[in-house]
Homo-oligomer: A and B are copies of this chain.
Amino acid sequence: MLDFIKKNNVKISGEGEQAIIFAAGFGCDQTMWRYVAPQFEKEYRVILFDYVGAGKSDYSAYQSEKYKTLEGYAQDVVEMCKELNLKEVIYVGHSVGATIGMLASLQDPALFKQLIMLGPSPCYINDLPSYKGGFEREDLDGLFEMMELNYIGWANYLSKVVMKNLDRPELAAELEGSFCSTDPLCAKEFARATFLSDYRHVLQQVTVSTCILQCEDDSIAPKEVGIYMNEHIKESAIFFMEATGHCPHVSQPEETTQLIFTCLANI
């Protein structure tokens, strides 16, 4: 009945004229934005959604062929914007959610006014000496293999690597729960689509104004990666956060919220 709303479990809240979309990272759903997104409801129309295959999306809409690359997810973002008659949205994407927004902006630039990227990476694999993505291909193959053989163990391990902040073990535990509650088939295909992607060549085609929020001590998107993106996107700025790890919207929501407002003011 609800088509795209059901498919992507779309939620609409807030009162402003300007739409702001919050997009999750790999293995996560919109609940990861629960500390940050409500702060924008007074001034913005807040749109939350889940990728097909994650959260409370419609799993019957999952197609391996479509979602084997991030373009499939980006296509859904474009469709959602069109169905909602959105134009010139603010798009805040975490991690691979940032890449998905960037790809959506290449599919239809007029839909986007600004991209705010939280811990983005155009390529996770090192291409030394010119590019340090943070992972060797063998590391990733090891992760994919672990997903096959011991999904729970993989979720436990990766959640700690991603979240950091191990003095607050409930944070990694939440992320682990999020990974574990994701359908393993979808998660495995999304993991390959994410971690094997290389979108360095499209950065220069991005025309939408971009802000990069770069965490300290982020093992998934190291500082060099944020700087690389900032250098290659035409109209971009980078802000270095005090937050550590790869999920500042969960571990340091106040700083994240504040910086998003700063980005919004700087357009």
Contact = CB atoms under 8 A, between A and B. Distances in A.
Interface of A: 1-3, 5-6, 9-13, 15, 17-19, 45, 56, 84-88
A255 B3 CA distance: 33
Nearest to A86: B1
Nearest to A14: B11
B85 A2 contact: yes
A13 B15 contact: no
A11 B13 contact: yes
A1 B85 contact: yes
Given A10-B12, A11-B12, A12-B11, A85 B3 contact: yes
Contacts of A19: 1-2
A267 to B, nearest CB: 16
Nearest to A15: B56
A45 B2 contact: yes
B11 A87 contact: no
17 contacts: A1-B17, A1-B19, A1-B86, A1-B88, A2-B19, A2-B45, A2-B85, A2-B86, A5-B12, A5-B84, A6-B45, A9-B15, A10-B12, A11-B12, A11-B13, A13-B13, A15-B56
Nearest to A12: B12
B17 A6 contact: yes
A2 B15 contact: no
Nearest to A13: B11
Nearest to A4: B85
